[in-house]
Copies of this chain bind each other. A is one copy, B any other.
Amino acid sequence: MLRIITQEAEAQTELKRIGDRTYDGETLHKEATVREILQTVQRQGDKALLDYTAEFDRQTLTLEQLRVSGSELDAAYQQVSKELLDAIVLARQRIEAFHRQRIPKSWVQFDDDEVVLGKRYTPVDRAGLYVPGGRAAYPSTVLMNAIPAKVAKVPKIVMVTPPGEGGKITPAVLVAAQEAGVTEIYRVGGAQAVAALAYGTKTIPKVDIITGPGNIYVTLAKKLVYGIVGIDSLAGPSEVLVIADSQANPVHIAADLLAQAEHDPMAAAILLTTDADLATKVQWEVEQQLLNHPRRLLTEKAIAHYGLIVVVDSLETAARLSNLFAPEHLELEIADPWALLESIRHAGAIFLGNSTPEAVGDYLAGPNHTLPTSGAARYASALGVETFLKHSSLIQYSSGALNKMSGAIQALAQAEGLHSHSESVRLRTEED
């Protein structure tokens, strides 16, 4: 049963408890396992990948089967319905259109004083996308990770995903990958897949950045290889926080909370409402909708442990509590969502109004669904084209410009005890 609380102090404690739920408790002893997997792949390459796949995924592959073949990719299109293919294409178009907006552009500025400054943006050479398999084999994950890389003009987009029964990969995932512009796909998952992308093997190319969600082993592997390659973020369990007033529909809100909870027994679903009556109705509705839920057990677990309704005295209090939690997804099911926006400081994505359930953004509104979790919205943002771009600063001084700045640079260099820094300027300017 979804708990209802009304005291702000208790709400703060509970939100902190829920916000701190991470896979952290399990990490330390798993880290040793992951470290060993990384080292083994580094040493043995492809052989280690096949061995771990046999061990963890129970699939025996040959070296040739590691890469998904052209004929399997073609065949995938025959295995998805016309309706699903159309939906994937529609989602691809809308996600791509959104990601094409306001991409950072290179610029150069020529100053009066013979100084040229600028920034030059270039894509990474190779991106590696981790796509989970099994229960969480989601074509939408493929679209959301690959499209920003494609829009950033990354020349090589490598996808890895664990094989299912008979070594198969879900056809919808293969279709989404092709639609999104993935350039090659390998049948490997877990920490071993992250290792392959970070170090490279004979078959799988070393990449520059690894993105995409995964289980605790994948996440630990990403953290450990960070610095050797770039990573997008460390994904924790997913969460939604809904702020609702009396005009909101309890049936819709219950569905939204369950849509979060059905992801993972550690998913969090929180409602902050100014209306005690709505709170009770949502609580009841959640029970009703759980009755025939195809993932009832898992979803009930999430609701029991990390579900919460808080009745608050005002929308401002709700915004304040939401900022403490810094939710991955924030729904504002209130009469004037735009008015409350100014009070919101931290949230991965904000869904405004009664007709914008999170599912819209999960699939095809356009903005990325890979969002900061576990309070990371305090400092991080959605995956985006920027994830696959980096820039070089550009600096050019004329000899006259250097002369003008020479005294200040030498003063600073000498204060820092950096002799040759100072000399590199003095030698250029005293000779002129």
Q: Is the CB of B295 within 8 A of A419?
A: yes
CB neighbours of A428 from chain B (8 A): 249, 252, 354-355, 357
- A43 an interface residue at 8 Å Cβ cutoff? no
* Residues of chain B within 8 A of A391, CB atoms compared: 381-382
- Chain A, residues 10-37, CB within 8 Å of chain B (1/0): the string is 0000000000001000000000000000
A102 within 8 A of B: yes
Interface residues on A, range: 35 or more
Contacts A349-B393, A349-B395, A361-B395 given; does A423 touch B255 at CB 8 Å:
yes
Q: A87-B408, A262-B419, A359-B422 are in contact. Are A109 and B101 (CB under 8 A)?
A: yes
Is A138 interfacial (CB 8 A cutoff)? yes
Chain B residues with CB below 8 A from A167, complex form: none
Q: Is B365's CB under 8 angstroms from A395's CB?
A: yes
Residues from chain B with a CB closer than 8 A to the CB of A75 are none
The residue on B at minimum CB distance from A138 is B416
Is there contact, CB below 8 Å, between A345 and B294? Answer: no
Binds B, one of A58-66, A158-166, A308-316, A397-405: A397-405
Which residues on B sit within 8 Å (CB–CB) of A81?
A: 411
- Which of B344, B367, B401, B421 is within 8 Å of A355, CB to CB? B401
The chain B residue sitting closest to A394, CB to CB, is B350
Question: Which of A111-119, A180-188, A276-284 lies at the interface?
Answer: A111-119
Within 8 A of B (CB), among A320-336: 330
Please determine whether B359 and A421 come into contact, CB atoms closer than 8 angstroms: yes
Tell me the bound Cα distance from A120 to B347 in angstroms: 10
Please name all residues of chain B whose beta carbon is closer than 8 Å to the beta carbon of A83 when the two chains form the complex: 407, 411
Residues on B with C-beta less than 8 A from A262 are 418-421
The listed residue with most B CB atoms (<10 A of its CB), out of A86, A135, A367, is A367
Query: Which of B227, B289, B412 is A376 in contact with, Cβ under 8 Å?
Result: B227
